[in-house]
Amino acid sequence: MIDYDTYPELERGTVHRDEMSIAPQSNFTSILVLRELESHAIFTTDGENADLASVAVGSGEDRETYSPGLLFMRKQTGSDRRFGKSLQRDLLDTDCTMQVNSMCQECVECVLYGSAASSDADSSLSITSRVMYDTAYTLRDATVAIDDKFQNAPGDDYAKEAEPTIREPDFFEPGTLFPTVVTLRDATPEELAFVLGVTVKNKRYGAATTRLGRVKNHILGVYTGSEEGPANLGLTRDIIRRLRNDSSTAHESIQEVITASAHDPETVSKHLQSSFEDRIEREHGGLDIERVPEETISELIGTASGDSLAEILETQRDASQAFIKQADE
């Protein structure tokens, strides 16, 4: 069982399941994740062109502006929600769906991730998500992280005239890295375990109709406190500068970092973690955030990815339903 007697370090950034309130409080848990593509992936808004930004990094003569590829918030939360729903269906007696106006609004996933007003005439309740994602940025420029692919138009004849090529959607290259923070607000330890389980187990991101987008989520830390931690953009900028200054990478400029053919996930993980913790110390004279011990994180991930998750969700479901009832009182 996950409780404050076993894990007192979680009390700072979570709420007990019996004390859930529809009135927002200031309990935050940040999960630091490095997303690593293990296959080509498609992250687009229009179905064809990759989403890009223009970001400045560095200062003085070493200042560069580059165009990172973007992994929008909805590409992350949509995939995690679909996986979370399927995980619940495997572990609990529920058939809740991702259909926008047909969610049950009483399962753990609905209450945590939010849902719109149900199509049920007796319900007009909308639930705000308490899991926050932000856009994630590639460390490398789109010119090296994204590939344009073309194919010849197919035909049935053995011999035929040359036909024009068809442009396929932009593909993010395998090995592309996305530094990411997932933040939970006023979540219970049980809900935290659920999100960790989803993060560890979910391995496909991008369009739901594609079989591409294999991703490995490296969980690098869990942090609790009374405020949110650093943002993805600042962390991405920090990592680029740290890779430039890292003697083991042999990059002499920011330009070399953002145009590199690849970056080592272990090296980037090290810089991402140290950047997150350095920013906690620097921002506003020190953010009210503390790192959860490695041993606790390992135990939570083990619990979240094992057979105990069903029991945890059963326990949380009663609390989630009591939480929803507060809106009718």
For residue range 242-252, what is the model confidence (pLDDT) as tens digits? 999 999 998 98
> Under a CB-based contact definition with an 8 Å cutoff, are residues 81 and 109 in contact?
yes
Domain boundaries of the chain, sorted by first residue: 8-328
Which pLDDT score is estimated for 278?
95
| Distance, CA of 319 to CA of 20 (rounded, Å) | 8
| Distance, CA of 189 to CA of 210 (rounded, Å) | 33
Alpha carbon distances (Å) from 57 to 63, 92, 262: 6, 47, 18
> Under a CB-based contact definition with an 8 Å cutoff, are residues 214 and 204 in contact?
yes
Q: For the chain, what is the radius of gyration of the CA atoms?
A: 22
Looking at residue 140, its amino acid is R
Grade residue 196 by pLDDT with cuts at 50, 70 and 90. Answer: very high
Backbone angles phi, psi at 94, to 5 degrees: -145, 145
Question: Which has more confidence, 122 or 121?
Answer: 122
Backbone angles phi, psi at 72, to 5 degrees: -60, 155
Which pLDDT score is estimated for 121?
43
Q: Does the structure show a pLDDT above 70 at 114? A: yes
Say whether 320 sits in a helix, a strand or coil.
Answer: helix
pLDDT in tens, 257-313: 999 999 999 999 999 999 999 999 988 677 789 999 999 999 999 988 888 899 999
Backbone angles phi, psi at 11, to 5 degrees: -65, -25
Looking at residue 50, its amino acid is A
pLDDT in tens, 15-26: 999 999 999 999
| Distance, CA of 206 to CA of 40 (rounded, Å) | 10
Q: Where are the beta strands (DSSP E) in the chain?
A: 28-37, 55-57, 64-66, 68-71, 131-132, 136-141, 146-147, 150-152, 165-167, 171-172, 177-185, 215-225, 289-291
Report CA 132 to chain centroid distance, whole Å: 9
Which pLDDT score is estimated for 201?
95
Beta bridge partners of 137: 70
Mean pLDDT computed over 104-112:
92
Strands 136-141 and 165-167: unpaired
Which pLDDT score is estimated for 165?
58
Looking at residue 149, its amino acid is K
Q: Does the structure show a pLDDT above 90 at 220? A: yes
Mean pLDDT computed over 113-120:
74
Go through 106-132 and write b for each residue having 16 or more CB atoms within 10 A of its CB, e for each that does not.
bbbbbbbbbbeebeeeeeeeebebbbe
User: Any idea what the Cα angle at residue 227 is, between residues 191 and 272, rounded to 5°?
Assistant: 85
Mean pLDDT computed over 157-166:
54
> Under a CB-based contact definition with an 8 Å cutoff, are residues 52 and 70 in contact?
yes
Q: What is the reported pTM?
A: 0.92
Looking at residue 171, its amino acid is F
